Amino acid sequence: MAAEIDPHFTRNINEQAIAEVCQQLSDQFGKRFTTGMALREQHGHTTTGLVTQAPDGVVFVENTEDVSQVVSLCHDKDVPVIAFGAGSSLEGQLNAPFGGICIDLSAMNAIVSVSAEDLDCRVEAGVTRQQLNDYLRDTGLFFPIDPGAEATFGGMAATRASGTNAVRYGTMRDNILSLKAVMADGRVIETASRAKKSAAGYDLTRLLIGSEGTLGIITEITLKLSGIPQAISGGVCGFPDLESACNAVIMTIQSGIPVARIELLDVMQVKACNLHSKLGLKERPTLFVEFHGTERGVAEQADMFADIVEDCGGADFEWATRAEDRSRLWTARHSAYWASFALRPGSINVTSDACVPISRLADCVSETQRMIEEFGLIATIVGHVGDGNFHVQLLLDPEDRGEQERAELFLSQLAKLAISMGGTCTGEHGVGQGKMKHMEEEFGSALAYMAAIKKALDPKNIMNPGKIVPNFG
Protein backbone atom coordinates (compact mmCIF):
# COMPACT_ATOMS: atom_id res chain seq x y z
CA MET A 1 0.00 0.00 0.00
CA ALA A 2 1.94 3.01 -1.25
CA ALA A 3 1.99 6.25 0.68
CA GLU A 4 -0.31 8.92 -0.69
CA ILE A 5 1.30 12.36 -1.02
CA ASP A 6 -1.25 15.12 -1.19
CA PRO A 7 -0.69 17.15 -4.39
CA HIS A 8 -1.15 20.36 -2.40
CA PHE A 9 1.74 19.43 -0.11
CA THR A 10 4.67 19.88 -2.45
CA ARG A 11 8.22 21.11 -2.36
CA ASN A 12 10.94 21.29 -4.94
CA ILE A 13 13.61 18.61 -4.79
CA ASN A 14 16.93 20.30 -5.50
CA GLU A 15 19.30 17.46 -6.35
CA GLN A 16 22.29 19.79 -6.52
CA ALA A 17 21.59 21.21 -3.05
CA ILE A 18 21.21 17.70 -1.63
CA ALA A 19 24.53 16.65 -3.21
CA GLU A 20 26.25 19.71 -1.72
CA VAL A 21 24.84 19.00 1.73
CA CYS A 22 25.92 15.36 1.52
CA GLN A 23 29.46 16.40 0.60
CA GLN A 24 29.67 18.91 3.46
CA LEU A 25 28.31 16.38 5.96
CA SER A 26 30.82 13.81 4.75
CA ASP A 27 33.64 16.32 5.23
CA GLN A 28 32.41 17.33 8.67
CA PHE A 29 31.27 14.01 10.16
CA GLY A 30 33.46 11.51 8.32
CA LYS A 31 32.40 7.93 9.03
CA ARG A 32 29.40 9.19 11.01
CA PHE A 33 27.76 10.12 7.70
CA THR A 34 26.77 7.61 5.05
CA THR A 35 25.02 7.47 1.70
CA GLY A 36 25.13 3.66 1.59
CA MET A 37 21.85 2.28 0.30
CA ALA A 38 21.45 -0.40 2.99
CA LEU A 39 21.57 2.10 5.85
CA ARG A 40 19.48 4.62 3.95
CA GLU A 41 16.73 2.04 3.40
CA GLN A 42 16.94 0.97 7.04
CA HIS A 43 16.39 4.57 8.12
CA GLY A 44 13.50 5.08 5.73
CA HIS A 45 11.92 1.77 6.61
CA THR A 46 8.46 1.43 7.99
CA THR A 47 6.89 -1.42 9.96
CA THR A 48 3.56 -1.08 8.19
CA GLY A 49 2.35 -1.43 4.61
CA LEU A 50 3.66 1.90 3.35
CA VAL A 51 6.38 1.85 0.72
CA THR A 52 9.87 2.70 1.99
CA GLN A 53 11.12 6.10 0.83
CA ALA A 54 14.79 6.32 1.77
CA PRO A 55 16.63 9.56 2.62
CA ASP A 56 19.66 10.66 0.58
CA GLY A 57 22.02 10.32 3.53
CA VAL A 58 22.17 9.40 7.20
CA VAL A 59 24.19 11.25 9.84
CA PHE A 60 24.81 9.76 13.28
CA VAL A 61 24.84 12.63 15.77
CA GLU A 62 26.29 12.57 19.29
CA ASN A 63 24.95 15.74 20.90
CA THR A 64 22.60 18.68 20.45
CA GLU A 65 25.33 20.73 18.82
CA ASP A 66 25.68 18.13 16.08
CA VAL A 67 21.94 18.25 15.43
CA SER A 68 22.00 22.03 15.31
CA GLN A 69 24.85 22.03 12.79
CA VAL A 70 23.11 19.54 10.50
CA VAL A 71 19.78 21.36 10.62
CA SER A 72 21.44 24.74 10.04
CA LEU A 73 23.21 23.41 6.96
CA CYS A 74 20.04 21.84 5.61
CA HIS A 75 18.09 25.02 6.33
CA ASP A 76 20.59 27.10 4.37
CA LYS A 77 20.34 24.74 1.39
CA ASP A 78 16.57 24.08 1.66
CA VAL A 79 17.08 20.33 2.20
CA PRO A 80 14.62 18.20 4.27
CA VAL A 81 15.63 16.62 7.59
CA ILE A 82 14.02 13.59 9.23
CA ALA A 83 14.75 12.52 12.83
CA PHE A 84 15.31 8.82 13.62
CA GLY A 85 15.30 7.08 17.01
CA ALA A 86 14.70 3.33 17.19
CA GLY A 87 12.76 2.92 13.95
CA SER A 88 9.57 1.56 15.51
CA SER A 89 7.08 4.03 14.01
CA LEU A 90 4.02 2.59 12.29
CA GLU A 91 2.64 5.31 10.02
CA GLY A 92 5.56 6.22 7.77
CA GLN A 93 6.96 8.93 10.05
CA LEU A 94 10.51 7.97 9.00
CA ASN A 95 9.97 8.06 5.25
CA ALA A 96 11.64 10.75 3.13
CA PRO A 97 9.11 11.42 0.32
CA PHE A 98 11.08 14.48 -0.78
CA GLY A 99 14.56 13.10 -0.10
CA GLY A 100 16.89 14.79 2.38
CA ILE A 101 19.00 13.89 5.40
CA CYS A 102 18.07 11.49 8.19
CA ILE A 103 19.44 12.46 11.61
CA ASP A 104 19.99 9.33 13.71
CA LEU A 105 19.86 10.23 17.43
CA SER A 106 20.35 6.71 18.82
CA ALA A 107 23.89 7.50 20.03
CA MET A 108 22.53 10.34 22.17
CA ASN A 109 21.74 7.90 24.98
CA ALA A 110 23.00 9.58 28.13
CA ILE A 111 20.92 9.90 31.29
CA VAL A 112 21.89 13.48 32.07
CA SER A 113 20.55 13.79 35.62
CA VAL A 114 18.13 12.29 38.12
CA SER A 115 16.50 14.28 40.93
CA ALA A 116 14.89 11.67 43.14
CA GLU A 117 13.68 14.35 45.55
CA ASP A 118 11.79 16.14 42.79
CA LEU A 119 10.62 12.95 41.07
CA ASP A 120 12.12 13.92 37.73
CA CYS A 121 15.06 13.22 35.45
CA ARG A 122 16.65 14.51 32.26
CA VAL A 123 17.60 12.21 29.41
CA GLU A 124 18.93 12.52 25.88
CA ALA A 125 16.62 11.62 23.03
CA GLY A 126 18.23 8.24 22.33
CA VAL A 127 17.63 6.81 25.81
CA THR A 128 15.07 3.98 25.90
CA ARG A 129 12.44 3.31 28.55
CA GLN A 130 14.04 0.05 29.68
CA GLN A 131 17.47 1.67 29.87
CA LEU A 132 16.11 4.40 32.14
CA ASN A 133 14.19 2.01 34.39
CA ASP A 134 17.25 -0.21 34.79
CA TYR A 135 19.20 2.90 35.83
CA LEU A 136 16.48 3.93 38.31
CA ARG A 137 16.06 0.49 39.88
CA ASP A 138 17.79 1.33 43.18
CA THR A 139 16.04 4.69 43.62
CA GLY A 140 12.53 3.33 44.20
CA LEU A 141 11.35 5.24 41.12
CA PHE A 142 10.37 4.27 37.59
CA PHE A 143 9.07 5.76 34.37
CA PRO A 144 5.63 4.26 33.71
CA ILE A 145 4.86 4.92 30.05
CA ASP A 146 5.29 1.60 28.26
CA PRO A 147 4.52 1.61 24.51
CA GLY A 148 5.61 -2.01 24.11
CA ALA A 149 8.32 -1.46 21.54
CA GLU A 150 11.71 -0.50 22.94
CA ALA A 151 11.33 3.01 21.58
CA THR A 152 13.56 5.99 22.40
CA PHE A 153 12.26 8.89 24.47
CA GLY A 154 12.79 11.26 21.57
CA GLY A 155 10.48 9.18 19.42
CA MET A 156 8.03 8.63 22.27
CA ALA A 157 7.78 12.38 22.81
CA ALA A 158 7.54 13.15 19.10
CA THR A 159 4.62 10.73 18.63
CA ARG A 160 2.93 11.42 22.00
CA ALA A 161 3.25 7.74 22.88
CA SER A 162 1.26 5.95 25.54
CA GLY A 163 0.87 2.21 26.15
CA THR A 164 -0.32 -0.37 28.64
CA ASN A 165 0.00 1.87 31.72
CA ALA A 166 -1.70 4.91 30.20
CA VAL A 167 -5.04 4.31 31.93
CA ARG A 168 -3.41 5.09 35.29
CA TYR A 169 -0.29 7.13 34.49
CA GLY A 170 -1.34 9.00 31.36
CA THR A 171 0.58 9.46 28.12
CA MET A 172 3.89 11.13 27.28
CA ARG A 173 2.05 14.45 27.22
CA ASP A 174 1.29 14.04 30.92
CA ASN A 175 4.79 12.94 31.92
CA ILE A 176 7.06 15.52 30.28
CA LEU A 177 8.07 18.73 32.06
CA SER A 178 10.34 20.28 29.46
CA LEU A 179 12.12 19.69 26.16
CA LYS A 180 15.31 20.80 24.51
CA ALA A 181 14.79 21.01 20.76
CA VAL A 182 16.51 22.16 17.59
CA MET A 183 14.18 24.26 15.51
CA ALA A 184 14.01 24.56 11.72
CA ASP A 185 16.69 27.25 11.45
CA GLY A 186 19.10 25.33 13.68
CA ARG A 187 18.53 27.33 16.85
CA VAL A 188 18.26 25.44 20.14
CA ILE A 189 15.44 26.16 22.59
CA GLU A 190 14.32 25.02 26.05
CA THR A 191 10.54 24.89 26.20
CA ALA A 192 10.03 25.15 29.98
CA SER A 193 11.60 24.84 33.44
CA ARG A 194 11.55 21.85 35.80
CA ALA A 195 8.67 23.34 37.79
CA LYS A 196 5.63 21.08 38.02
CA LYS A 197 3.40 23.85 36.69
CA SER A 198 3.72 27.29 35.14
CA ALA A 199 1.41 30.08 33.98
CA ALA A 200 4.13 31.74 31.87
CA GLY A 201 3.83 31.99 28.10
CA TYR A 202 2.71 29.59 25.41
CA ASP A 203 3.01 25.88 26.11
CA LEU A 204 5.75 25.05 23.61
CA THR A 205 6.42 21.75 25.36
CA ARG A 206 3.05 20.31 24.40
CA LEU A 207 3.19 21.92 20.98
CA LEU A 208 6.28 19.85 20.18
CA ILE A 209 4.96 16.68 21.86
CA GLY A 210 3.21 14.74 19.10
CA SER A 211 4.56 16.95 16.29
CA GLU A 212 6.47 13.99 14.79
CA GLY A 213 9.54 16.07 13.96
CA THR A 214 7.59 18.47 11.74
CA LEU A 215 8.26 21.52 13.95
CA GLY A 216 11.61 20.72 15.57
CA ILE A 217 13.90 17.87 16.58
CA ILE A 218 13.76 16.91 20.26
CA THR A 219 17.23 16.25 21.70
CA GLU A 220 16.66 16.16 25.49
CA ILE A 221 13.58 15.49 27.64
CA THR A 222 12.86 16.28 31.30
CA LEU A 223 10.55 13.52 32.54
CA LYS A 224 8.30 13.05 35.54
CA LEU A 225 8.99 9.89 37.53
CA SER A 226 6.70 7.77 39.70
CA GLY A 227 7.27 5.70 42.80
CA ILE A 228 7.47 1.94 42.35
CA PRO A 229 4.23 0.54 43.85
CA GLN A 230 4.43 -1.30 47.15
CA ALA A 231 2.29 -4.10 45.75
CA ILE A 232 1.45 -5.25 42.22
CA SER A 233 -1.11 -7.86 41.30
CA GLY A 234 -2.23 -8.97 37.87
CA GLY A 235 -4.48 -11.51 36.26
CA VAL A 236 -6.22 -12.93 33.23
CA CYS A 237 -9.92 -13.56 32.64
CA GLY A 238 -11.92 -14.78 29.65
CA PHE A 239 -15.30 -13.68 28.30
CA PRO A 240 -17.92 -15.20 26.00
CA ASP A 241 -17.61 -12.38 23.44
CA LEU A 242 -15.85 -9.07 22.76
CA GLU A 243 -18.85 -7.00 23.82
CA SER A 244 -18.87 -8.58 27.28
CA ALA A 245 -15.15 -7.96 27.69
CA CYS A 246 -15.54 -4.32 26.64
CA ASN A 247 -18.48 -3.84 28.99
CA ALA A 248 -16.32 -5.11 31.87
CA VAL A 249 -13.72 -2.49 30.95
CA ILE A 250 -16.33 0.27 30.80
CA MET A 251 -17.78 -0.68 34.20
CA THR A 252 -14.30 -0.85 35.74
CA ILE A 253 -13.39 2.65 34.60
CA GLN A 254 -16.79 4.13 35.46
CA SER A 255 -16.60 2.55 38.94
CA GLY A 256 -13.41 4.49 39.62
CA ILE A 257 -11.23 1.43 40.19
CA PRO A 258 -7.66 2.72 39.70
CA VAL A 259 -6.56 -0.13 37.44
CA ALA A 260 -2.98 0.29 36.20
CA ARG A 261 -3.29 -1.84 33.08
CA ILE A 262 -6.29 -3.37 31.34
CA GLU A 263 -5.62 -4.95 27.96
CA LEU A 264 -7.98 -6.66 25.54
CA LEU A 265 -7.06 -9.59 23.28
CA ASP A 266 -9.58 -11.05 20.86
CA VAL A 267 -9.78 -14.76 20.02
CA MET A 268 -7.31 -14.53 17.13
CA GLN A 269 -4.78 -12.62 19.24
CA VAL A 270 -5.06 -15.12 22.10
CA LYS A 271 -4.44 -17.92 19.61
CA ALA A 272 -1.38 -16.09 18.29
CA CYS A 273 0.02 -15.46 21.77
CA ASN A 274 -0.50 -19.11 22.70
CA LEU A 275 1.48 -20.17 19.63
CA HIS A 276 4.23 -17.59 20.06
CA SER A 277 4.57 -17.32 23.85
CA LYS A 278 3.29 -20.75 24.93
CA LEU A 279 0.63 -19.30 27.28
CA GLY A 280 -1.98 -22.04 27.13
CA LEU A 281 -4.95 -19.66 27.44
CA LYS A 282 -8.44 -20.64 26.35
CA GLU A 283 -9.14 -19.15 22.92
CA ARG A 284 -11.77 -16.52 23.72
CA PRO A 285 -11.85 -12.74 24.25
CA THR A 286 -9.51 -12.10 27.17
CA LEU A 287 -8.52 -9.25 29.47
CA PHE A 288 -5.08 -8.86 31.02
CA VAL A 289 -5.23 -6.62 34.11
CA GLU A 290 -2.81 -5.23 36.67
CA PHE A 291 -3.30 -3.25 39.89
CA HIS A 292 -0.73 -1.05 41.66
CA GLY A 293 -0.81 0.27 45.23
CA THR A 294 -0.61 -0.95 48.80
CA GLU A 295 -1.23 -4.59 49.73
CA ARG A 296 -4.68 -3.76 51.07
CA GLY A 297 -5.54 -1.41 48.23
CA VAL A 298 -4.57 -3.90 45.54
CA ALA A 299 -6.63 -6.64 47.22
CA GLU A 300 -9.69 -4.37 47.37
CA GLN A 301 -9.32 -3.35 43.73
CA ALA A 302 -8.99 -6.98 42.67
CA ASP A 303 -12.11 -7.98 44.58
CA MET A 304 -14.14 -5.16 43.02
CA PHE A 305 -12.91 -6.07 39.57
CA ALA A 306 -13.73 -9.76 40.10
CA ASP A 307 -17.33 -8.80 40.89
CA ILE A 308 -17.56 -6.81 37.64
CA VAL A 309 -16.11 -9.73 35.66
CA GLU A 310 -18.76 -12.04 37.08
CA ASP A 311 -21.55 -9.56 36.27
CA CYS A 312 -20.32 -9.40 32.66
CA GLY A 313 -20.18 -13.14 32.18
CA GLY A 314 -16.43 -13.54 32.60
CA ALA A 315 -14.92 -16.70 34.02
CA ASP A 316 -11.76 -18.50 35.12
CA PHE A 317 -10.05 -15.49 36.66
CA GLU A 318 -6.39 -16.42 37.21
CA TRP A 319 -4.24 -14.17 39.41
CA ALA A 320 -0.53 -13.70 38.82
CA THR A 321 1.02 -12.29 42.00
CA ARG A 322 4.57 -13.53 41.41
CA ALA A 323 6.77 -11.14 39.43
CA GLU A 324 7.91 -13.86 37.02
CA ASP A 325 4.31 -14.84 36.20
CA ARG A 326 3.31 -11.23 35.53
CA SER A 327 6.42 -10.75 33.42
CA ARG A 328 5.49 -13.77 31.30
CA LEU A 329 2.00 -12.35 30.67
CA TRP A 330 3.14 -8.86 29.77
CA THR A 331 6.02 -10.11 27.65
CA ALA A 332 3.44 -12.07 25.69
CA ARG A 333 1.25 -8.96 25.38
CA HIS A 334 4.16 -6.85 24.17
CA SER A 335 5.04 -9.55 21.64
CA ALA A 336 1.52 -9.49 20.16
CA TYR A 337 2.68 -7.80 16.94
CA TRP A 338 5.27 -10.48 16.22
CA ALA A 339 3.04 -13.27 17.54
CA SER A 340 0.36 -12.50 14.97
CA PHE A 341 2.62 -13.63 12.12
CA ALA A 342 2.24 -17.21 13.39
CA LEU A 343 -1.39 -17.10 12.26
CA ARG A 344 -0.43 -16.63 8.61
CA PRO A 345 3.23 -17.35 7.82
CA GLY A 346 4.61 -15.27 4.96
CA SER A 347 2.06 -12.51 5.41
CA ILE A 348 2.67 -8.80 5.86
CA ASN A 349 1.31 -7.16 9.01
CA VAL A 350 -0.48 -3.84 8.53
CA THR A 351 -1.37 -2.32 11.87
CA SER A 352 -3.73 0.53 12.63
CA ASP A 353 -5.25 1.98 15.77
CA ALA A 354 -8.26 3.99 16.88
CA CYS A 355 -9.45 5.55 20.12
CA VAL A 356 -12.99 6.42 21.22
CA PRO A 357 -14.65 7.67 24.39
CA ILE A 358 -14.86 4.77 26.82
CA SER A 359 -18.68 4.69 26.61
CA ARG A 360 -18.44 3.84 22.87
CA LEU A 361 -15.71 1.21 23.21
CA ALA A 362 -17.97 -1.86 23.00
CA ASP A 363 -19.84 -0.44 20.00
CA CYS A 364 -16.64 0.46 18.15
CA VAL A 365 -14.83 -2.84 18.79
CA SER A 366 -17.91 -4.91 17.89
CA GLU A 367 -18.43 -2.96 14.65
CA THR A 368 -14.73 -3.31 13.84
CA GLN A 369 -14.96 -7.08 14.23
CA ARG A 370 -18.02 -7.10 11.97
CA MET A 371 -16.16 -5.09 9.30
CA ILE A 372 -13.18 -7.47 9.41
CA GLU A 373 -15.55 -10.34 8.60
CA GLU A 374 -17.39 -8.32 5.95
CA PHE A 375 -14.15 -7.53 4.11
CA GLY A 376 -12.97 -11.14 4.36
CA LEU A 377 -9.75 -10.24 6.18
CA ILE A 378 -7.60 -12.09 8.67
CA ALA A 379 -6.87 -9.79 11.63
CA THR A 380 -6.37 -9.57 15.36
CA ILE A 381 -7.73 -6.97 17.78
CA VAL A 382 -5.69 -5.96 20.80
CA GLY A 383 -5.67 -2.79 22.80
CA HIS A 384 -5.12 -0.53 25.79
CA VAL A 385 -8.86 -0.46 26.26
CA GLY A 386 -8.82 1.29 29.63
CA ASP A 387 -8.56 4.57 27.74
CA GLY A 388 -10.65 3.49 24.74
CA ASN A 389 -7.64 2.70 22.52
CA PHE A 390 -7.36 -0.48 20.47
CA HIS A 391 -5.30 -1.82 17.57
CA VAL A 392 -6.14 -3.94 14.54
CA GLN A 393 -3.38 -6.02 12.97
CA LEU A 394 -4.18 -7.15 9.43
CA LEU A 395 -2.34 -10.19 8.06
CA LEU A 396 -2.21 -9.76 4.30
CA ASP A 397 -0.99 -11.87 1.40
CA PRO A 398 1.79 -9.77 -0.20
CA GLU A 399 0.85 -11.18 -3.63
CA ASP A 400 -2.90 -10.56 -3.38
CA ARG A 401 -3.58 -7.02 -4.62
CA GLY A 402 -7.33 -7.48 -4.21
CA GLU A 403 -6.91 -8.29 -0.53
CA GLN A 404 -4.67 -5.27 -0.07
CA GLU A 405 -7.26 -3.02 -1.69
CA ARG A 406 -9.92 -4.38 0.67
CA ALA A 407 -7.55 -3.72 3.56
CA GLU A 408 -7.08 -0.09 2.47
CA LEU A 409 -10.84 0.40 2.36
CA PHE A 410 -11.25 -1.27 5.77
CA LEU A 411 -8.59 0.97 7.35
CA SER A 412 -10.27 4.07 5.95
CA GLN A 413 -13.64 2.96 7.31
CA LEU A 414 -12.12 2.17 10.71
CA ALA A 415 -10.78 5.71 10.98
CA LYS A 416 -14.13 7.16 9.92
CA LEU A 417 -15.94 4.93 12.43
CA ALA A 418 -13.79 6.13 15.34
CA ILE A 419 -14.18 9.79 14.33
CA SER A 420 -17.95 9.39 13.97
CA MET A 421 -18.11 8.10 17.55
CA GLY A 422 -16.38 11.19 18.92
CA GLY A 423 -12.95 9.56 18.79
CA THR A 424 -9.76 9.86 16.80
CA CYS A 425 -8.17 8.08 13.85
CA THR A 426 -5.07 7.37 15.95
CA GLY A 427 -4.78 6.93 19.70
CA GLU A 428 -1.02 6.45 19.79
CA HIS A 429 0.57 5.49 16.45
CA GLY A 430 0.53 9.06 15.20
CA VAL A 431 -0.38 10.53 11.82
CA GLY A 432 2.76 10.32 9.68
CA GLN A 433 1.79 9.61 6.08
CA GLY A 434 -0.72 6.84 6.71
CA LYS A 435 -3.34 8.83 8.66
CA MET A 436 -2.81 12.21 7.00
CA LYS A 437 -5.85 11.80 4.73
CA HIS A 438 -8.14 11.67 7.79
CA MET A 439 -6.93 14.88 9.41
CA GLU A 440 -9.43 17.20 7.75
CA GLU A 441 -12.36 14.97 8.68
CA GLU A 442 -11.21 14.83 12.30
CA PHE A 443 -10.23 18.48 12.78
CA GLY A 444 -12.13 20.45 10.15
CA SER A 445 -11.13 24.10 10.00
CA ALA A 446 -8.69 23.60 12.90
CA LEU A 447 -6.35 21.90 10.42
CA ALA A 448 -5.72 25.26 8.76
CA TYR A 449 -4.38 26.58 12.06
CA MET A 450 -2.05 23.59 12.35
CA ALA A 451 -0.78 24.43 8.87
CA ALA A 452 -0.30 28.06 9.94
CA ILE A 453 1.79 26.97 12.94
CA LYS A 454 3.86 24.70 10.70
CA LYS A 455 4.45 27.49 8.21
CA ALA A 456 5.37 29.99 10.92
CA LEU A 457 7.92 27.71 12.61
CA ASP A 458 9.20 26.00 9.45
CA PRO A 459 8.63 28.37 6.52
CA LYS A 460 10.94 26.40 4.24
CA ASN A 461 9.10 23.15 5.00
CA ILE A 462 12.29 21.18 5.69
CA MET A 463 11.25 19.48 8.96
CA ASN A 464 9.94 16.02 8.08
CA PRO A 465 7.82 17.31 5.19
CA GLY A 466 4.86 15.30 3.93
CA LYS A 467 3.64 14.34 7.39
CA ILE A 468 0.61 15.33 9.53
CA VAL A 469 -0.46 18.52 7.71
CA PRO A 470 -1.54 17.71 4.15
CA ASN A 471 -2.20 21.19 2.76
CA PHE A 472 0.94 23.10 3.68
CA GLY A 473 2.82 24.42 0.71
CA dist., res. 119 & res. 264, Å (int): 31
The yes-or-no verdict on residue 364 having pLDDT over 70 is yes
Structure confidence at residue 19 (pLDDT): 95
Question: Which tens digit of pLDDT belongs to each residue from 154-169?
Answer: 999 999 998 888 899 9
CA dist., res. 95 & res. 423, Å (int): 27
Nearest to 184, CA basis, from 473, 464, 430: 464
Question: Which tens digit of pLDDT belongs to each residue from 21-35?
Answer: 999 999 999 999 999
Structure confidence at residue 45 (pLDDT): 76
Mean pLDDT of the chain: 92
Structure confidence at residue 4 (pLDDT): 38
Query: What average pLDDT score do residues 127-131 get?
Result: 95
Structure confidence at residue 234 (pLDDT): 87
**Is CATH 3.30.465.10 correct for 111-227?**
yes
Query: What average pLDDT score do residues 241-246 get?
Result: 94
Structure confidence at residue 8 (pLDDT): 37
Nearest to 333, CA basis, from 388, 282, 286, 283: 286
Handedness of CA 434, 437, 442, 443 (dihedral sign): positive
The yes-or-no verdict on residue 332 having pLDDT over 90 is no
CA dist., res. 312 & res. 361, Å (int): 15
Question: Which tens digit of pLDDT belongs to each residue from 179-215?
Answer: 999 999 999 999 999 999 899 999 999 999 999 999 9
Structure confidence at residue 317 (pLDDT): 79
**Phi, psi angle pair for 60, to nearest 5°:** -95, 105
44 neighbors 102 (Cβ within 8 angstroms): yes
57 neighbors 35 (Cβ within 8 angstroms): yes
Structure confidence at residue 58 (pLDDT): 98
Query: What average pLDDT score do residues 292-314 get?
Result: 92
pLDDT grade for 85, boundaries at 50, 70 and 90: very high
**Phi, psi angle pair for 383, to nearest 5°:** -170, 165
Structure confidence at residue 3 (pLDDT): 36
The yes-or-no verdict on residue 150 having pLDDT over 90 is no
**Is CATH 3.30.360.10 correct for 231-430?**
no
37, 407, 410 from 373: Cα distances, Å: 40, 12, 10
CA dist., res. 439 & res. 291, Å (int): 36
Amino acid at 44: G
The yes-or-no verdict on residue 63 having pLDDT over 70 is yes
Structure confidence at residue 193 (pLDDT): 95
pLDDT grade for 309, boundaries at 50, 70 and 90: very high
Question: Which tens digit of pLDDT belongs to each residue from 428-465?
Answer: 899 999 999 999 999 999 999 999 999 999 999 999 99
pLDDT grade for 328, boundaries at 50, 70 and 90: confident
358 neighbors 387 (Cβ within 8 angstroms): yes
User: In this predicted structure, which of 247-261, 331-345, 408-422 has the lowest mean pLDDT?
Assistant: 331-345
Structure confidence at residue 1 (pLDDT): 37
Q: Do the domains 231-430 and 111-227 match in fold?
A: no
Query: What average pLDDT score do residues 291-305 get?
Result: 92
How do the domains of the chain map onto residue ranges?
111-227, 231-430
The yes-or-no verdict on residue 410 having pLDDT over 50 is yes
Amino acid at 366: S
Encode the chain in three state secondary structure.
CCCCCCCCCCCCCCHHHHHHHHHHHHHHHHHHEECCHHHHHHHHCCCCCCCCCCCCEEEECCCHHHHHHHHHHHHHHCCCEEEECCCCCCCCCCCCCCCCEEEECCCCCCEEEEECCCCEEEEECCCEHHHHHHHHHHHCEECCCCCCCCCEHHHHHHCCCCCCCHHHHCCHHHHEEEEEEEECCCCEEECCCCCCCCCCCCCHHHHHCCCCCCCEEEEEEEEECEECCCEEEEEEEECCCHHHHHHHHHHHHHCCCCEEEEEEECHHHHHHHHHHHCCCCCCCCEEEEEEEECHHHHHHHHHHHHHHHHHCCCEEEEEECCHHHHHHHHHHHHCHHHHHHHHCCCCEEEEEEEECCHHHHHHHHHHHHHHHHHCCCCEEEEECHHHCEEEEEEEECCCCHHHHHHHHHHHHHHHHHHHHCCCECCCCCCCCCCCHHHHHHHHCCHHHHHHHHHHHHCCCCCECCCCCCCCCC
